Structure 1
Amino acid sequence: MGVPVGPATGRGSVGRASVVGAARPKAVPGASGPGRKKKRISKRRRRVYAALIMVCLMMLGAITVAGSWFFESVPAPEDLAFGESTTFTYSGSDTPIAGYGEYTRKLVDDYGDLPDSVVWSLLALEDKDFFEHEGVDYKGTMRALINNIKGGDTQGASTISQQYAGMVSDIRGDISYGRKAKEAVMAMKLEQEYSKKDILLHYLNLNFYGRGTYGIAAASEVWFGTKVEELSWAQGMMLVMQVKAGDGSFDPRVAGEESTAPSARWTHGMETLLTMTEDISEEDRAIIQEQLDAGMPETLETLKNPGSWGHDTTTGFITNPTDGYVWAELESRWGLDKKQFYGHDAGTGGYTVVLTIDPVIQAAASATASRGHLKVMEDEDGNFLNADGEKVENRADAEVYKNDKGYFEFENTNDEAALFNYNTAMTTGLVAIEPKTGAVLGYYGGEDGTGIDKSGPESPHPASSTFKMVTAATALTQGASIDSWWNADSPREFESLGDVNDGKLRNGQQSDPEVDMTLADAVINSKNTPMYAIADKYGASTVLSQAVDMGLTTLSKSDSYTYLNGEEANGANVTYSFVNKPGEGENTYSRHGVMLDENGDYVTDSNGAIDYWAAIDSFENADGEPINNDGVVDRLVTESPRYPADNQIGFGQYPVSVRDMAAIYATIANDGVYVETHYVAKLLDRNGNEVPPERELYQEKTMDVGMARDLQYIGGFIGEGPADQRPFFGKTGTWEADGYEAECRNDPDTTDVAEQCEKYPEAYSAHAWYTGAIPQLSVATWVGNATSESDPIYNDQGSPEGVAGGNTSAPVWQKFMDDVIGQKEYERTEWGQPTHVGNPILDDILNEDGTIDADSEYCIANPTDTKCKRETPPASEDCPPIWEAMNLCTPEDDGRGNGRGDDD
């Protein structure tokens, strides 16, 4: 909404109201108007009424209060403590990027901006004698006082001056006998301090008009999309009849078609205008009659809260009022809930939330990841169409387009996007975190922050091989070193797999049955079997706990649970939410998912939609209170070595968020120290003063510095890194597509998917990751299908063959990182030297008798190790050169059947 601009003369501007000295009454065409002679009440009678009011106050023991109110000045709107909306800004910027609040407030500066249609409509409904009385309806106030004292229904009988006094005193909701008398005293004082025009202007500025608007100027734009000075008689009447109906009882779109209250009130007001022949000209009354005959004016359709805005952007996932991440942080660290930011009550709201988001980095994230908006349905002429194929005016009302495979597609309008030349059904998630502070500096989960967040916990993705850094960190914290050796056979049998895949696990599609390698090489070469072995050895829950320590907050998996109506949910998707409070005991978690209530109905969220984050478990603390109220169930993550995650966590089978992977790698980049991931840089009150948090950010040393530097060292061999060849570390990740081919399963002629459709080849990939860091910035990037988590993605030639993290997601990471490095001019910083901390254990490659196959990679690299032995050493012609040099080979047979053994 813009600021109304009036004609060159006779108009002011719309903004905050300013109080000026008494002004002359406004001239009204065809009548003397407010300048005509007042019908004055005699001084004697006035004194009698005032005395009676004061006697009543004394009878109520309130003379002290009344006296103090009489001598206190009545404030103008700009002097009042309003509830105010909250503003969000980028880090280091004063420019608002979003707002949250109950209303839009917009005030008129000058009485001259108020049209006759507003002034006389208000007086017709509320106070026809406003320009004639002296602020108090003495008879009405006495009648109300006596009636209320007798115990009858509380009554109002307020003039506009008394109503204004009530509003500024915050007592408008209570019209009991005591407060009604106080209003009368204040109204008398008000009439002494301000002119009639000022009182009327302040009154119209201060009132609430519904639809989130305070002030007649805001109401005119939100209700009718017009400037206040351009309101017709019909529109002016519609607005002023809302001044005592903040509940929407006179709003036709809120009250509903069956309610006659809005039309009855409006008609009464318009007919009253026609009787005001001394105040309104014959010409204007003719216009009023014409508009009355035409019926109530149409208002704009929207009833959305205009006090909240800016959440349908890339940063909306952080700020949106429904599930934005900032709210939990503000409550956890500052002890303030949404209500205190909303500005509903006087003295609340007015905060400025300075986000950690860096505008330069955020712009780079959007430039790298955005592919524009999703395509919507259109006809041949470019008209938007809804789900029924009908034309609609607004793009937001159009049906989202799906192709023959059932995929959403992007408009692909950003030629700077890393995926610009890729299939338009593919999308990107990207999160950038500052390692030393835990601050989220850049966030891209999609274009619309009120939609699905591809970087957040509501849309997690299998972490795949990027999680192997966590598994390696677990091995190091459990005493192993990056020089420890592990069996990387593919396939490899594991007893813990049971009947799954015949008890065998592969390294992707590889078949290499005799492979041993160091932990460092297992991560660099992205082998699955050693990672499963680490989880099997130390416990999957130990790996999970290590991940939580490093920054993991959620993990999804299929699970079973019981609905509130007793039915069983088998194989349902469950999100585990973890809480890590360093120094406050073990990590805990709670389970969330779709729930049915006692009646078998879906549990819904605050918007009435199915709540996919409903609490599953119902536990009670020592006081009998459900712990789910604060989202935490007091269970140890390490209660079982294979629960809640199984050993497949070692190679990243479970879906996690892009944000959490950026946090985990930030911990490694920060030499093993986790700093709580956060979005709020600071909080300012309405006066611009910083509000100190109740607690500092959580920090935890999750591993020794040497271990972190060993992981940095390993990751430095994976990927190409930034273009300027500065030190970095990272890890690729790829997860396969699964299920039946989309084009077939979505074909209307398909009646049996399993019979008629083919499954995707095992070589197709559905997810591609690259997560990595430089000392100043940790960045996680993910590429996948915008619609389906199981369908394949494609290379830049449009083929699903050969797609992997290294050739699909890594370029996204590199483009973004190069852009940020260039704009932020980060100093080139070296990692610390690797320390090879821990023990180079060999447990995973030992035979049952404690020996190691002599032809293994380990024994070739360590031929003098006494564990490397054969019953019969190899003949010279088959002996490796290094063995021959050490005189470990069997001499050639000389025909006598003997040869040199180990004891010769």
Structure 2
Amino acid sequence: MFSRKKRVLIEIILVFCFVFAIIIGVAIGLAIATTKNIQATEKIGEYQPALPSQVLDRNGELITEIFADEKREIISIDELPKHLIYALITREDQKFFEHHGFSVRGTLRAAWNVLMGNYFSGGSTITQQVAGQLYADRTKITLRRKLRELWYALQLERSLTKNQILELYLNREYFGHNTYGVEAASQFYFGHSARDVTLAEAVMLVIQLANPARYSPIKYPERVKKLQYEVLQQMVNLGYVTKEEANLSFQKFWNEYDPTRSNIASAYFENESKAPYFSEFVRQQLEEMLYGSLDINRDGFIIHTTLDLDYQRAAREIMDKGLKKVNETYQANTQQRLSFVDKQFVPLVDILALSFDIPEIRAVNAQQLKNGMDDFEKNIAPVLDVLALMFDSEEINFIANMAHAQKAQEAKKTTVEGALITIDNNTGHILAMIGGSDFTVTKLNRATQAKVMPGSSFKPLYYSAAISSKKLTEATLIYDAPVVFWNEDGTPYTPSNYMGRWEGPVLAWYALAHSMNVPSLKVLDMIGFDTAINRASRLLGITDPEQIRKTFPRKYPLGLGIIGIAPIQMARAFATFANEGKEVEPLAITYVEDRRGNIILEPEKELRASQKREGENIQILSPQSAYIMVDMLKRVVKSGTLAWSRTTANDFDGMPMAGKTGTTQNWSDAWTVGFSPYMTTAIWFGFDLPGNSLGINQTGATAAGPLWAEYMKKIHEDLPIKNFQKPDSGLTEVKVCRKSGLLPTEECSEGTVDLFFLSGTEPRRFCDLHSFEKKRDEQLMERLKRAILTEDINIDYRLPEIEENILEEYRLDSELEESLKSSMDGNPLLD
């Protein structure tokens, strides 16, 4: 073992060698730096700090920022107040403007600490800190790292000005709470730009650079308050500010300090999106477009989107109100049903349980269990959460997580959710998107990802195919009566209408406007499954043959919307009608810029080029057929299932509207999908898990319809009124008898209606239904008169015999006659 004197001598020699090595290294570095531009200079120009990507709406308003762990905003040194620079120099490097990249005293002190095995700090200049961040691993406490920092610090000083080094430093350094760079830090801590920081705020920011975990003003206000005062006094001593300025700023800072802010706050968690479901939709799409070559969280993209935040705010307000009302009504309906069950059946069940000694089925036991679970969730689960956090116990964590999982699963069954999406009819731009009640609870975007049944709102899709085939017109007479349809597998299907009512012969436009099931299924039967599925899949944007096969069952319930699709698909289908039959592809991103303003992606330009290459293939149905569908759906709003909603919206202040409601079996889903000449909106209410009912009083017409109408009126307030585009040729408008659909005569006592027809399909016969009825009535009256004049009054109540040629014109076809002989109960799908 060495004696104490020898050990000291050895340490002195080592220090001397180290200092000598530094001097030689510096000298060599200076020599090389003056003669050769090395790799560091090249890297400096290439350096790009991590930046969040900004998502902008179509008017340039910020929707949100996307970042992983570094919240940063770049700001120029010229934009920062001088007292911020002075505070930084005072705290971190008082000789910054005098040295050439390193401090001899600081370097020697750092070397001594390394030799002694101590952590060294405070020995690096600002330039060395930047060099260390860029070119060295600052987590390693070695002489090699220190020499590397020193070398690159010299290169930085040679390549950059002092102000450029400060700008690099202030935009790169970590300021705590997931904020990187002085601008992001100022926004997080003080709620305003670093351009506007006060003297005391500037000092508070630079204090974070040394140890943000220890000196956080949110976590440790008293600790950092003392240090802040000391730094301010240092600035006074250095002549940067007066004592009065320092004291006034200090007092003002703490007088306005908010002590209530959560001590776990961070920029990541406080990054609130104004449209969270849309922002996540955009993020997912962009990641697919980038193919992993770039990082949306760090590369600082400017993402220009189609969203309109004014429409989005209106949508959020409408859906919040709607979800609240629909859930309250659902709860009231549920309570009413439970009260009925408790009153009628609970006593009987309890008697059976006691009589046969089966305690497990006692209703009182079930109620006690439910009450116990409710009490656990309300009073015990929150305590478990706190205990789990305090003691990090796996057992407590397991119990708490199980309790929350059970509650979440139950909520999916008993909480009404909803979705709304608005798209531009011509461009497909997504203008508003609501994917559910709360993005923080579940990120499932029901507007784009949910597969829910559209009910009767699906009917217009195959009606349009029937119109295009010329087998159906608005004036086609269809008999609404009980009927049996036979599926391809030989099974019967017997639908019925709302409340089991039948209306007899009705025109096609009326059947659609009032969402009559049997006439609609006869339209489906008229064109066949292949034609209906082909049209529906194209309108919904489903192109994969296997997906088409899975989505559309070849059974008659298909005609009543028993398929799984998303609201965005229904919106694009209806927008096609308003877009003169041309395909509408929903679009969220118009173009993307990199941090320098260079356009790197243009999804909209690519889409338009693709549509141009497709040519006539994007024409799903002719403009004439599309206009007839618009006319039929306008009648839904005027006199059908959306008539009441139209009234509540004051007739949309004159703006033409068209749409369709939909309600699925057992009132599980409620829809309204409708459009103006400008845009289309789909609204859906229902449950995340099947098997529940909104209630008989919550249909598409009553739950979704009024909200759709209120929202559409709101977003059209500043738009000029215009009509739907009508083709110049190929259409014929004809006035027909409202009852028969034929050309009217003076005997058509029930009025007339103006309908549109594909040219050549318009009616050419005059209505003789009313003349037939008149002749029948006249013959009956004549027989009654003759009977009354006879001595023995003998009235024959049988219908008079009608001439064979008159009967022949009104004889039902054999299929309809057979269908009228069948009368089987079916479950209604309501609107």
TM-score band w.r.t. shorter chain: 0.5 to 0.7
What TM-score results when the alignment is normalised by the length of structure 1? 0.52
Change (3 A) 1:864 1:659: closer
The count of aligned residue pairs is 596
Of 690, 711, 716, which aligns to 1:816? Answer: 711
Change (3 A) 1:435 1:50: same
Does 2:597 align with 1:683? Answer: no
**What secondary structure does 1:665 align onto?**
helix
**What secondary structure does 2:457 align onto?**
helix
In 2: Cα distance, 1:875 partner to 1:233 partner: 103
Match of 1:779 in 2: 681
In 2: Cα distance, 1:252 partner to 1:204 partner: 18
Q: Compute the displacement of 1:532 (Å).
A: 4.0
Change (3 A) 1:887 1:225: closer
Of 546, 557, 562, which aligns to 1:648? Answer: 557
**Unaligned stretches of 5+ in structure 2?**
1-14, 95-99, 116-122, 217-222, 231-236, 238-259, 329-376, 387-399, 612-617, 639-645, 733-762, 769-775, 781-797, 811-831
Does 2:292 align with 1:356? Answer: no
Match of 2:827 in 1: none
Match of 2:424 in 1: 434
Question: Quick one: which amino acid aligns to residue 716 of structure 1?
Answer: K
Match of 1:547 in 2: 536
Say if 2:22 and 2:147, in contact at 8 Å, map to a contact too: no
Q: Compute the displacement of 1:203 (Å).
A: 4.0
Does 2:480 align with 1:510? Answer: no
Say if 1:673 and 1:702, in contact at 8 Å, map to a contact too: yes
Of 71, 90, 115, which aligns to 2:57? Answer: 90
What TM-score results when the alignment is normalised by the length of structure 2? 0.56
Question: Quick one: which amino acid aligns to residue 486 of structure 2?
Answer: F
* Residue deviations 1:255-300 (CA, integer Å, cap 9, x gap): xxxxxxxxxxx9xxx9xx9xxxxxx9xxxxxxxxxxxxxxxxx996
Change (3 A) 1:885 1:833: farther
Of 619, 622, 627, which aligns to 1:709? Answer: 627
Change (3 A) 1:541 1:166: farther
Question: Quick one: which amino acid aligns to residue 321 of structure 2?
Answer: R
**What secondary structure does 2:664 align onto?**
strand
Change (3 A) 1:337 1:481: farther
In 2: Cα distance, 1:818 partner to 1:238 partner: 51
Does 2:658 align with 1:696? Answer: no
- CA RMSD of superposed structures (Å): 6.2
In 2: Cα distance, 1:304 partner to 1:529 partner: 59
Match of 1:481 in 2: 472
Q: Compute the displacement of 1:439 (Å).
A: 1.0
Question: Quick one: which amino acid aligns to residue 327 of structure 1?
Answer: R
**Superposition pairs for residues 304-703 of structure 1, below 5 Å?**
306=268, 309-311=271-273, 313=274, 315-319=275-279, 324-331=280-287, 335=290, 340-343=295-298, 348-349=299-300, 351-371=301-321, 388=381, 429-446=419-436, 448-452=438-442, 455-477=446-468, 480-482=471-473, 488-496=480-488, 498=490, 503-510=493-500, 512=502, 515=504, 519-532=508-521, 540=529, 543-552=532-541, 578=542, 587-588=543-544, 635-637=545-547, 646-693=555-602, 695-697=606-608, 699=611, 700-703=618-621
**Superposition pairs for residues 145-160 of structure 1, below 5 Å?**
none
Match of 1:732 in 2: 661
Does 2:35 align with 1:49? Answer: no
Change (3 A) 1:435 1:176: farther
Q: Compute the displacement of 1:677 (Å).
A: 0.4
Say if 1:464 and 1:651, in contact at 8 Å, map to a contact too: yes
Moved more, 365-374 or 700-709: 365-374
**What secondary structure does 1:430 align onto?**
strand
Of 700, 720, 725, which aligns to 1:805? Answer: 700
**Superposition pairs for residues 30-179 of structure 1, below 5 Å?**
48-50=24-26, 67-69=36-38, 81-92=48-59, 94-102=60-68, 103-105=70-72, 109=80, 113=84, 132-133=103-104, 161-168=127-134
Change (3 A) 1:458 1:675: closer
Change (3 A) 1:42 1:717: closer
Match of 1:718 in 2: 636
Match of 1:291 in 2: none
* Residue deviations 1:443-481 (CA, integer Å, cap 9, x gap): 334454444567514444321111001121233455633
Match of 2:392 in 1: none
Question: Quick one: which amino acid aligns to residue 528 of structure 1?
Answer: N
- Give aligned-pair identity as a percent: 19
In 2: Cα distance, 1:781 partner to 1:184 partner: 63
Say if 1:165 and 1:187, in contact at 8 Å, map to a contact too: yes
**What secondary structure does 1:370 align onto?**
helix
**What secondary structure does 2:602 align onto?**
coil
Match of 2:179 in 1: 213
Say if 1:86 and 1:341, in contact at 8 Å, map to a contact too: yes
Q: Compute the displacement of 1:218 (Å).
A: 5.3
Say if 1:136 and 1:159, in contact at 8 Å, map to a contact too: no
In 1: Cα distance, 2:188 partner to 2:308 partner: 33
In 2: Cα distance, 1:306 partner to 1:100 partner: 9
Q: Compute the displacement of 1:163 (Å).
A: 4.0
Q: Compute the displacement of 1:215 (Å).
A: 3.4
Question: Quick one: which amino acid aligns to residue 621 of structure 2?
Answer: M
Change (3 A) 1:692 1:638: closer
In 1: Cα distance, 2:582 partner to 2:22 partner: 77
**Unaligned stretches of 5+ in structure 1?**
1-38, 56-62, 124-128, 145-156, 243-249, 254-265, 274-279, 281-297, 377-383, 410-423, 553-577, 579-586, 589-634, 738-764, 795-799, 838-859, 866-872, 891-904
Q: Compute the displacement of 1:365 (Å).
A: 2.3
Question: Quick one: which amino acid aligns to residue 86 of structure 1?
Answer: S
Question: Quick one: which amino acid aligns to residue 342 of structure 1?
Answer: N
Q: Compute the displacement of 1:179 (Å).
A: 10
Q: Relative to total residues, which structure has the larger helix share, 1 or 2?
A: 2
Say if 1:370 and 1:446, in contact at 8 Å, map to a contact too: no
Change (3 A) 1:71 1:310: closer
